Structures are given as C-alpha cells and as structure tokens.
Amino acid sequence: MTVAELNNKVIGAIILIPYDKLDKLSIETDIKQINKIEGFTEKILYIVNSIKYMIFRECRRGNLYISNVATDEKARGLGVGKMLMLYAEQVAKKEDFEGISLLAKNEKVTKFYEKLNYNKIFDRVLLGERVIKMAKVL
C-alpha cells in the first residue's frame, strides 16, 4: 500500500497487486472471511459471491491490479486520486507490466478512470451485482 500525505495526514491510499499474486491473496482472504462468517447459509452466499470474480478474472497475466484507491472526503477534488493513479502507472512501467486493470464500483468512478484513459473491458450484472472491469494498456 502507498499513501498520499498532506501536512503529515494521510489523505489517500492505493493498493497494487501483481497479477501473479492476486489469486493467492484472494484465496487467503476468502478463507479468513469464511472462517469469520457465522452460519452455513452466509458462508455459501460469500463463496458464491467470490466465484463471480473468478469467472471473469479481475486481472489478466502481465497486468498490475489496482485493488483499491481511496481519498479522504476532505481531499476530494485536489487531484489526489489522479496522483495515486499516475503513481500506479509509473510502478507498472518500471516493473515491466503490460497494463493495469481494476474494478470500478459505479458510473461516477468509471468516469474518473475514463478521464485517465482506462477503458471498460467488462460491464455486466453478475449474481445481482454490477461488475465493471477497466484496464489501460501501457
């Protein structure tokens, strides 16, 4: 994780995961989550929800995956998100990734990524939830 700071206060963060580590981290996280969930039905619902992300692959071979980008509400509009995204692209280029992929949670966020030249690769409703995958070739 990398953070953006202003006056010694964290105002943004980004989590980058290389494609070859994403599956292992996802499985480890899922196992931890399943162990915390109470009730058989709730566990099954969690597993079914996790399967949809396996169906379409969040990140293809050769890409860097952006797991999360967040900015403090008070810092929105200052360019922090854009700065973090540009940082991700620098890391990807330095480490010889072919591109970057991510999941956008809604149209507003999608428009932000489109301004940075990310393209929608996948936009469908899976198991009742809209999934928007975006990517950029470097």
Domains contained in the chain, CATH given: 2-137 (3.40.630.30)
Model-level pTM?
0.83
Measured in whole angstroms, the distance separating CA 19 from the mean position of its chain's CA atoms is 12
Mean pLDDT, residues 93-106: 94
What's the CA gap between 134 and 56, in Å, rounded? 12
Cα–Cα distance between 89 and 92 in angstroms, integer? 5
pLDDT at 30: 84
Lowest mean pLDDT among 13-17, 23-27, 50-54: 50-54
Average pLDDT on 102-119 reads: 94
pLDDT in tens, 54-95: 666 677 789 999 999 999 999 989 999 999 999 999 999 999
**DSSP state, residue 66:** E
Decide: residue 52, CB within 10 A, 0-12 exposed, 13-18 middle, 19+ buried.
middle
Contacts 24+ apart (CB under 8 A), 1-6: 2/84, 2/87, 4/71, 4/75, 4/80, 4/83, 4/84, 6/75
